[in-house]
Amino acid sequence: MGNARNWSSRALALAPPISFHARSGDRIRLEQTAARAPMPKERITELRPTVAACAVGLIVTGATTWRPYVAIGIRNASLHVVLDSVGACIAVLVAYLVYGRFIRRGMLQDLLIGHCLVFVAVAGLCLTYLQGIQGFRSGKLDVWLPLGLQALGSLLIGAAAVSNRSLANQLALRRLAVLSPMAVIAVTFLALPWIAMSQPSASFGPAQHTMLTGYSLLPVAQGLTALGFFVASVAFTFQAGRRKDELLRWLGPACALGSFARINDVLVPSRYTDWVNTSDLLRTGFYVLLLVGATREINQYWSAQAGLAVSDDRRRLARELHDGVIQELAYIRSECHTIPAGMASGNHIIRACDRALDEARAAVHALGRASEEPLGFVLCRTTTELAERYEVNVEVDLDNSVSVASDQQHALLRITREAVANAVHHGKARRVRIRLSQDGGCRLTIEDDGQGFDVSASVAATAGYGLISMRERALALPGSFTVEAHSGIGSVVTVLW
């Protein structure tokens, strides 16, 4: 009867396979297209935040290089301390959130991102603390210690960008990995001060200081840090588009601003002075975007939790229907067989029980099935059930690239059931053709070869409630609903959305 070709493993995993029972004249044709690649507009939307961040970074850096001997900023030591302290606190909060992701998912990438943010936060707090102590503003420890931690952070964020390893089944390694940044920070605090004190002073004068001057190791370290953040920005942006990951979507532009902040630190150093200028502006943007990404991640997490709760309730209701209503209806149907065969009422009751059982089972399927099932796959299963129930030949032409939300899917299935039932009961149809296509919008068509009917008379009559119900469901998609029917030549029901 059927010829099901190229069903994806994902679709087959979401529902049990369908058994088609052949009858003469039956034909079911399934057409499934490959998974739809992101459209150009969708790709542009995914890239927009990172492109905007890069544009801002280029404009600010261009303004800095255009007038290198003019200060673009203000001299305010207190504001400098506030920005560094607030940024460090944001980094700590986001690191805590990312570690929570790591505990849930066990991905090495989350762990490395969290470690990077810990190093960035400690670097900011170290700078604030050391600059507030008299005698430490020598251009040695107060410069090299934060810079060393930032360089380690950039290495981690770069490694996170290319990491796709899972540690979900390696509990001991996960515990060790979570504690590892503490050990690295402790070693850095012990070893780097001795190294820093042996290095030349990296202190700076006013913000008008000439670009790219001073000790050569400083711009090299800042440049490598900028490179690590830029690589992470590009990688996170493309990964976010594939995974629909809100945190990575905002981490991409944040890393872009962080990269340009390091470049501005090389051109006109200000982080180790009392001046607040372009690099501080870009660095603040980095922390703001981190906070936005964390907020979106929290919203995404709770939305997923709400979806899981709804799924649990749906499965519970499905169990209650199956164990309660369906069992009672089956009992009533079995008892109806005791009614003498000559009584018409017995047959009517049995048919009514059959319809009620079908509707109850459909409700159980709707509640218990995964909402991620493709519409074409669910329509195929539904039409097979309808063909067996009404003993009618069904021809199915499905475009499986059509994707809808779960509530829309339920409405379309109800419309299909009602249209086929009307074709069989009122039109005496022997063949029904169901077509799902996507041409200038999504279209569902149910066509039959029955006797047809007067549409206006049916809607005006009480029996027209089925047509009214189908129309209301179609309008709620939102979409449109049309019925074309003429006596003797069948009817065509069309839903556009």
Q: Which residues pair with 330 in a beta bridge?
A: none
Q: What is the pLDDT of residue 215?
A: 56
Instruction: Look up residue 408 and give its amino acid.
Output: Q
Peptide bond into 478 cis (omega under 30): yes
* pLDDT, average across residues 211-226: 72
Give the sheet arrangement for strand 442-448, strand by strand.
2-3, 27-31, 393-399, 431-438, 442-448, 491-496, 480-485
291, pLDDT greater than 80: yes
Torsion of CA 454, 488, 382, 437, to 10 degrees: -90
* pLDDT confidence tier of residue 38, bands split at 50, 70 and 90: very low
Q: What is the pLDDT of residue 381?
A: 82
Instruction: Look up residue 116 and give its amino acid.
Output: C
Half-sphere exposure of 178 toward its Cβ, with a 13 Å CA cutoff?
Answer: 16
- Of residues 251 and 322, which shows the higher confidence score? 251
Q: What is the pTM of this model?
A: 0.61
Instruction: Quote the CA–CA distance of 481 and 443 in Å, as a whole number.
Output: 10
3-state secondary structure of 448: strand
Instruction: Quote the CA–CA distance of 267 and 209 in Å, as a whole number.
Output: 9
CATH architecture of 1-36+374-497: 2-Layer Sandwich (3.30)
Torsion of CA 403, 409, 413, 416, to 10 degrees: -50
DSSP tag of 463: G
- Percent of the chain surpassing pLDDT 70: 70
* pLDDT, average across residues 224-238: 91
Instruction: Quote the CA–CA distance of 406 and 230 in Å, as a whole number.
Output: 39
Q: Which of 145, 127, 133, 122 is nearest to 270 (CA)?
A: 127
* pLDDT, average across residues 201-214: 48
305 to 398, 405, 436: CA distances (angstroms): 33, 18, 32
484, pLDDT greater than 70: yes
DSSP one-letter string for 117-141: HHHHHHHHHHHHHHHTSTT--SSSH
Q: Any idea which of 183-197, 247-261, 356-370 has the lowest mean pLDDT?
A: 183-197
Backbone phi and psi for residue 337, each to the nearest 5 degrees, phi listed first: -70, -15
Which helix (H) or strand (E) covers residue 438, if one does? strand 431-438
3-state secondary structure of 80: helix
